[in-house]
Chains A and B, each alone.
Chain A
């Protein structure tokens, strides 16, 4: 008899190495929407030009059984080379980048700049009435910073989604 099913949800950061061919992203996204899986974040870019491969990083959540299913479903797509569950396969680093526009003046403006400094966000554009901060970090850190900016004139956010990689010598 199989162990009782763990029905609690967990978050998973999954990296997928794919053949860089037309339609591959549509296949991955279609798989998630067609089967009702969550996509919390998704990034894609070519990573091995000479071999024509791209890497897709997906942050998803579900029960252990659903996450196992997601990995198996991804792995059976024809253009997929490898699927790695970074959350499970040892320590990993996950980062995203955000561009955050804050429009304010006076005290709010000064406070925004101070907080940006504390969070190591860079000012990449400034006018008299606005800043654009560039910030790289974990999703949580970005969330925290964006929340802090809200009362200080947060106007617009543009985020890349998560890029992730295993720590140490391990490769996908």
Chain B
């Protein structure tokens, strides 16, 4: 009634919509198809606008943290920007862990948070939180919309910021009065952003220098990371071509897995704390290192002053703050990984200098020797009733999913199972591996898998989980049921917070303080309670059947795989140690480097 009155009085307002409607229109113009969210008082106008349209789908999660992880899974598996909608106060604070997770792993997200009306901001109003204050260090950027005329512009800008340069999460805090008041619409701007314009095209002189160093390399390595995945599928393709053309060995970070085919002989496996023997020794001994889209994380470098001591380091990154942050490099190249890789390919061909192929062949002979150690070897008994080794469970999961020929996407929780998944599941394409690397958030995997399944309804989506982590967002089983998402939860149940137990065994004298998973639920019945299917494998002879049954099941499944409780993840570079001070597993006869107090303070 009052609306019609206003419209007749002010003709300009006639074609203005409510803030909530303008918001949805902007989301549509940004190509948004799905929002992961949870309602509350301050965002009711948005929910009302969602109700009145059917272009954008809303997925109702059961906890706001899960909404963010789901959007991360959606984003990482598609290369698009994930969208989250939560209410003010507790809705926003529940989302914070997910936002920081996305920031650390460079995942593009836009998170809409409700806020109390502008005139109440600062009054400790009901469900008020200083959301922009709280999320400032957990986001790439955030906005508080205080004027209706800014709304559409801010939404478009948020998408631009989230996906450009080094991607990350962006929060838009939306006071309720802004959602209700009429607001003008404004389309996607064509003009460049006022201040944020990341460099994507590299300095050609640096490309020439890099190729000159690569041509002279006798012991080269390509070390790639999540930035290649961020740069899109074409970047992974360019990486593969460059590695093949140069004949160099390559290794990837946890976040980079899939950017180069894992089954390829030039791939040495993951590097770092739980990387392979050959990858870490190659990093230690190389004379030229080409880092593409990896950030010299402490999980990768080990003791910084012992990290790859004799190499000329080339570092390709879109974020200048990644350069010389942890490790001093010789040839920085600022730019998008895809663009830079193409430039390196072209320059490699254009430079007439022959590469040191003889020397590189010698390097490969050395690598073959290291590979001969077979650092990922494990022994699995085949006896009836034999205990399942967690490594074997992952290996069989990989082989049996591959047999189906179906597109398979994997997410993980955090812990030993995550490392075994990284070591034993092989990825031949990018965007198939969703894991929480930088923040290491237990509870990431199930909601992430949910987001992945939304984006890939026909694919096989599996969350490789630990029995402790899975309980952190188990409520999302209800979301799976509601939307009939056939996500498979594959629990490596060792009845311990295994990663904690492993550190306590190796670093704290075997005092297993609070790391036993006491009073676990019956996961089979838990699955059933959530309208899914539960199954269990207690011994090795049951494993294949359970995996096959799980894959074939059209519903959500929890497969409880009872594995060896005492198994550790090897190889392991203890914190504070150098790459050549790695511990190999039992049967390899190599033992712990002395762990120093300096090492003990590290995580």
Contact = CB atoms under 8 A, between A and B. Distances in A.
Nearest to A52: B194
B463 interface: no
Given A1-B330, A78-B161, A78-B195, A72 B137 contact: no
B328 A3 contact: yes
Contacts of A151: none
A34 B329 CA distance: 25
Contacts of B324: 65, 68-69
Q: Describe A's contact surface by its main secondary structure.
A: mixed
A1 B312 contact: yes
Contact of B137 (A2, A34, A79): A34
Contacts of B196: 78-79
Nearest to B319: A76
A168 interface: no
B136 interface: yes
Nearest to A77: B141
A30 B137 contact: yes
B500 to A, nearest CB: 27
Contacts of A75: 320-321
Interface residues of A, number: 24
B311 interface: yes
A15 B31 CA distance: 39
Indicate the member of A1, A18, A73, A78 with the most B CB atoms within 10 Å. Answer: A78
A5 B329 CA distance: 11
A27 B328 contact: no
A73 B328 contact: no
Contacts of B313: 2
A1 B196 CA distance: 33
Most interface-central of B136, B141, B195 (chain A CB within 10 A): B195
Given A22-B144, A78-B195, A72 B320 contact: yes
Interface in A65-117: 65, 68-69, 72-73, 75-81
Nearest to A35: B137
B321 A26 contact: no
Contacts of B195: 18-19, 78-81
A36 interface: no
A68 B332 CA distance: 13
A151 to B, nearest CB: 44
A66 to B, nearest CB: 10
Given A2-B329, A72-B320, A23 B310 contact: no
A34 B137 CA distance: 8
A65 B328 contact: yes
B321 A72 contact: yes
Given A19-B195, A26-B133, A1 B325 contact: no
Contacts of A78: 140-141, 161, 195-196
A36 to B, nearest CB: 13
A65 B328 CA distance: 8
Interface string B166-200: 10000000000000000000000000001110000
B132 interface: yes
B136 A72 contact: no
Interface in B275-329: 309-313, 319-321, 323-325, 328-329
Nearest to B164: A78
B310 A76 contact: no
A154 to B, nearest CB: 37
Nearest to B329: A2
A1 B329 CA distance: 8
Contacts of A26: 133, 136
B136 A23 contact: yes
B323 A72 contact: yes
B314 to A, nearest CB: 11
Contacts of B328: 2-3, 5, 65
B311 A69 contact: no
A68 B320 CA distance: 10
B50 to A, nearest CB: 28
29 contacts: A1-B309, A1-B311, A1-B312, A1-B330, A2-B313, A2-B328, A2-B330, A3-B328, A5-B328, A22-B144, A22-B146, A23-B132, A23-B136, A23-B142, A26-B133, A26-B136, A30-B136, A34-B137, A65-B324, A68-B324, A72-B323, A73-B321, A75-B320, A76-B320, A76-B321, A78-B141, A78-B161, A79-B195, A81-B194
The 3 closest A-B pairs by CB, nearest first: A72-B321, A2-B328, A78-B141
Interface of B: 132-133, 136-137, 140-142, 144, 146, 161, 165-166, 194-196, 309-313, 319-321, 323-325, 328-330
